[in-house]
Amino acid sequence: MPGFELFADKERAEVQNVLDSGVLMRYGFDAMRNGHWKALELEKGLAHRMQTQYAHVVSSGTAALTVALASAGIGAGDEVIMPTFTFVASFESILALGAIPVLVDIDDTLTLKPEAVEKAISTKTKVVMPVHMCGSMANLDALKTICDKHGLLLLEDACQAIGGTYHGKPLGSVGDLGCFSFDYVKTITCGEGGALITNNEAYYENAHKYSDHGHDHIGNNRGAEEHPFLGYNFRISEMNAAVGVAQLTRLDEFLNIQKRNYTILREALSDIPEVVFRTVPEGGEENYSFLNFFMPSGELAQIAHQELIEAGVDGCFYWFDNNWHYYKKWGHLTELKSLGKLPKDVVESLPDYSKANFSGSDQWMSRNISCLIKLGWTEAEVKARAKQMAEAIRAVL
């Protein structure tokens, strides 16, 4: 990742088709299109690839999460369980609906710890939202069992994990709903974009209406369409969708390159006994977009991360101190910093995260180093990088 590294003739041709038609909006202007419906084409391709009945593309991964939650009726005061390690969009999408993000610990998968999820369930809990961070998945069997037991929705945030699988099923297709991001730094990109997938017809019908001001999309006269409920504008443009159409056809190409590069790096570090790799649940295959490993201690992880930087190994992250991806730096959530007044349900029901104990997460994140796998590397460059990484890590042990 990311897919923009390998932009080529396919992407240019799809975009040119849109420019030639002159129609940049996904709905309407039928006579001008010359048969080009890029958003619809991307949705059909995505549903086929993800083995689901329905797919709906929107303006971002954040929009996909928001629309997915709304499509299932999640609203004010409802609780959504999510992990301490994710991108801020996860809790932003929940708060946007007046719902409550309930943070719980992760385990050595770097995703939701099932035992922590079970303990966090209350009478207000409606959704469990595992986030498949850095290309690998949660223990979905265990989470699905919990959801079935308590009558909860399982929503997979697979924004960073397209192409990964669990017991042969594409990530995102295991739960009731799944979401993807196609922003500029994802494995496949639209520049900006996202999508939700589902096998539930009611959720799909709600989603395509909600993301377009509540339009029911019945008939071929947009101005005559009805509005069965309130909605917002989360539409993707035809230009962005066109890039996605091309990129989706190249997903296997990208995954194969990622796996090659990931494997070379992992094999080099496997000779270091103190390095322990992230756990991938049984039956799972990650999409190889990141290589994640644990050092023996948090102190050694910080030193090793700095050593990697000084050795010129870019793209390695120490998420424990990251402003965007770990709860410790989410002061805007903890302090409820908002431009306007927040809903009463949020103000009164949000847990006091300034006093929360997430030591279970800290023990894993403090020891973790996460390395981005790029598509543009040659095999020789990856091997040289693997040697640099191994030498840098050995130097601190």
Domain around 268: 252-396
* Cα distance from N-terminal residue to C-terminal residue, the chain: 30
* Cα 194 to Cα 203: distance, rounded to the nearest angstrom: 16
Do residues 263 and 143 share a domain? no
Tokens coding 79? 């609780």
Using the 3D structure, point to which of 227, 250, 273 is the last residue of a domain: 250
Q: What are phi and psi of 369, to 5 degrees?
A: -125, 135
The CATH number of the domain where 123 resides is what?
3.40.640.10
> Residue 310 CB: number of other CB atoms within 10 A?
10
Count H helices, E strands: the chain? 14, 14
| pLDDT score of 1 | 80
| pLDDT score of 2 | 87
Do residues 259 and 213 share a domain? no
| pLDDT score of 301 | 98
Tokens coding 276? 């322990």
* Cα 76 to Cα 99: distance, rounded to the nearest angstrom: 5
Total domains present in the chain: 2
Query: What does the longest C-alpha to C-alpha distance in the chain come to?
Result: 69
pTM of the predicted model over 0.75: yes
Do residues 264 and 325 share a domain? yes
Instruction: Find, among 186, 222, 234, 193, the residue nearest to 70 by Cα.
Output: 234
Do residues 272 and 189 share a domain? no
Question: In order along the chain (397 residues), what is the average pLDDT of each group of 10 residues?
Answer: 91 96 95 93 98 98 98 98 98 97 98 98 98 97 98 98 98 98 96 98 98 95 94 98 98 97 98 97 98 98 97 96 94 94 94 94 98 96 97 96
Do residues 224 and 266 share a domain? no
Active site residues: 186
Using the 3D structure, point to which of 250, 267, 299 is the last residue of a domain: 250
Q: What are phi and psi of 171, to 5 degrees?
A: -60, 140
Do residues 310 and 169 share a domain? no
The CATH number of the domain where 271 resides is what?
3.90.1150.10
Do residues 267 and 343 share a domain? yes
Q: Are 160 and 125 in contact (CB under 8 A)?
A: no
Do residues 260 and 238 share a domain? no
Do residues 231 and 130 share a domain? yes
388: Cβ–Cβ under 8 A, 6 or more apart, which residues?
Answer: 308, 311, 312, 313
Do residues 77 and 47 share a domain? yes
* Cα 12 to Cα 198: distance, rounded to the nearest angstrom: 30
| pLDDT score of 28 | 94
Q: HEC states along 241-272?
A: HHHHHHHHHCHHHHHHHHHHHHHHHHHHHHCC
Using the 3D structure, point to which of 204, 221, 250 is the last residue of a domain: 250
Do residues 207 and 285 share a domain? no
Tokens coding 396? 């601190």
* Cα 335 to Cα 338: distance, rounded to the nearest angstrom: 9
Do residues 220 and 110 share a domain? yes
Cα of 209 vs its chain's centroid, Å:
23
